[in-house]
Amino acid sequence: MNGRRILVTGAAGGIGTSLVAELLLQGARVLATDVDESGCRLLERRIGGRPEDGRLHTMPLDLTESGAPQRIVDRAIDRLGGLDGLVNNAGVEHRAALAEHGTADWTRVLEINLSAPFRLARAAAPALAGQPGAAIVNVCSIAVTGFAGQAAYDASKGGLLSLTRSLAVELGPLGVRANAVCPGFIDTPMLDASGLRGLAEKVAARLPLGRCGHPEEVAAAIVWLLGTSAGYVTGQALFVDGGMVRA
C-alpha cells in the first residue's frame, strides 16, 4: 500500500479507525471522512502522526448533503494528488418490526448505506480509471442474508452488494476492481449502540471460531482487497464473520 492514495468514509467508527491506522502503517496516504466532526479530530490525534508528513487528511462531512460525494472526492484528489482506492465504510443501522418501520427511517438508512456509495463511486470513477491497481471496496454485512426486524438495513446492504457487482462489471475494463467485505458480529461501538451485544456473544459462542470479530480483522480484509495481491479479484463478497455464513 506504500504511496497509494485512499479515500475512506465512516472513518471515525470502530472499523474505520482500524482501517485508517492499518493503511497509514502500510505507507498509504489517506483522506478520512465522517459525519462526526469530533471523531475526525480524535482520529487525527490518535493516529495521524505528524501533520507535515501529509499522509492523513480528514474532512467532516454529511454524505447525504447535496453535492457532498463530489466535494469529498475532489478534496481527496487535491490533498492526495490523485486517487487509487475508495472504501465506502459509512453506514447506519435501524431496528424495528416491519409494522413499526417508518418511511423516514427507511429513506435515511438507504440514503446513507446505498445512495451515498453509489454517488461516491460515480464521482470517483473518472479519477480511478487507468490508475494501476485501482479498487473500490464496499463494506456490506452478513445482513445481506436477511434478518428479522431490520428491513431497511438488510435491503441497503443487499443493494450495496449488488451495486458492487455492477461496478465490477462496468469498471473492470477501465482497470478498476470492485469488491465487498461482509462483516459479522464485530466488537465495535456500533454493536453496543445496536443493543445486540448480548445476542451477538451468544451467537458467536456457537460459531466455528467461537467469538466476535475484531475491527482490525475487517480492516485487514479491506486492505488486502485494495492491494495488488488481490489484483485478479473483483465482483466478490468476502465474509469476515467467523464462519457464520457458510457455503
Whether 13 contacts 89, CB under 8 Å: yes
Task: Tell me if 231 is assigned to some domain.
Answer: yes
pLDDT digits (tens, 9 = 90+) for 182-229: 999 898 877 777 677 787 788 889 999 999 999 999 999 999 999 999
**Number of structural domains, the chain?**
1
**Distance from C-alpha of 28 to C-alpha of 178, rounded to nearest angstrom:** 19
Contact 235, 168 (CB under 8 A): yes
Indicate which CATH number applies to the domain containing 191. 3.40.50.720
154 in a domain, yes or no? yes
Q: Record the pTM.
A: 0.93
Domain membership of residue 247 (yes or no) is no
* pLDDT lower than 50: segments of the chain: 52, 247
- Is 79 within the bounds of a domain? yes
User: Catalytic residue positions?
Assistant: 153
Asked, for residue 245, whether it belongs to a domain, the answer is no
Range of the domain at 164: 5-240
